[in-house]
Structure 1
Amino acid sequence: MQDLEIYIRDIKPGAVSGWLEGQLDQLQLDDSDVSSVMKGTAIHNGERVRITLYPGAFGKRFTSLVMEGERLPWNTDLECARSAWRAVETEVRCSPGDWKEGEPVEEDKWWRLDHRGEQQVVWN
């Protein structure tokens, strides 16, 4: 099972579904109201993908997007964040590596993608 997680700042209604429609098949995600948790599904290479949006992450301005499935269109959080940035045109962040639930966080650096480019930053 593969999972990817990115954080999108000041997300607009419909932005995630608009982006993912071009990446996944049979997308079922209603993100017209981005004020509460949203769940959806899609298909990629014949495999089911679970999609969850969690608004209010990291100081309320970010929405966490989690995608889980056997096959996803991207191999890393950073690849996913790059694709999202091109589509949603607002700041996108993701973790720098292959951190797994329960492991200690080695450093406070995150990838930030925005109009200034890609940078590793401390989240604050």
Structure 2
Amino acid sequence: MQDLEIYVRDLEPARLTAWLEINFDQLLVPLTPFGNKPGLYKGEGRYGDGLVRITVYAEAFGKRFSSVLLEGEDLPWNTDLDCARSAWRALDTEIRCSQGEWQEGDPVEEEKWWRLDDRGEKLVVWN
């Protein structure tokens, strides 16, 4: 199973939904609050022959960024950066994603992230 994760600054749910609808063959379950956890939303889409689980964690990294996690056997993008580029064009807000080298348990102090915004694409330390 493939998973892609991007972080969206000042997420607008309607714009996110529109972006998902454009990139998936079908949005089967729209993003809806999940359980009793504030800020957790789940949805489901179809891409190709498979299902894609969509999870949004509002305010996942500070108060400004929401995590958008896509999980499925087949996704419209091959990398977090490809996904981030598509999201940036559609959502018109800063998008960040991992450069793909970090593993759970690795130190994060000097970890570099891709930042996509109106200044372009750049590897930056998050804070």
Percent identity for Structure 1 against Structure 2: 57
CA distance in 2, matches of 1:75, 1:43: 16
User: 1:30-53 deviations in whole A, cap 9, x for unaligned?
Assistant: 369xx7211000011110000000
- Specify the alignment match of 1:109 in structure 2: 112
Q: Find out whether 1:41 has 2:44 as its counterpart.
A: yes
Instruction: After TM superposition, give the deviation of residue 13 of structure 1 in Å.
Output: 2.6
Q: Which amino acid aligns with 2:124?
A: V
- Structure 2 regions of 5+ residues with no counterpart? none
Instruction: After TM superposition, give the deviation of residue 99 of structure 1 in Å.
Output: 3.5
Which SS does the other structure have where 1:43 is aligned?
Answer: strand
- Structure 1 regions of 5+ residues with no counterpart? none
Using structure 1 for the length normalisation, give the TM-score: 0.90
- Specify the alignment match of 2:26 in structure 1: 26
Q: Find out whether 1:64 has 2:67 as its counterpart.
A: yes
Q: Which amino acid aligns with 1:83?
A: S
CA distance in 2, matches of 1:51, 1:13: 13
Which SS does the other structure have where 2:52 is aligned?
Answer: strand
CA distance in 1, matches of 2:32, 2:17: 7
CA distance in 1, matches of 2:125, 2:105: 19
| 8 Å Cα contact 1:54/1:64 also seen in 2 | yes
Aligned length: 121
| 8 Å Cα contact 1:16/1:31 also seen in 2 | no
CA distance in 1, matches of 2:3, 2:102: 11
- Specify the alignment match of 1:95 in structure 2: 98
CA distance in 2, matches of 1:109, 1:99: 9
Instruction: After TM superposition, give the deviation of residue 98 of structure 1 in Å.
Output: 4.4
Q: Find out whether 1:9 has 2:12 as its counterpart.
A: no
Which SS does the other structure have where 2:31 is aligned?
Answer: coil
Q: CA RMSD in A?
A: 1.8
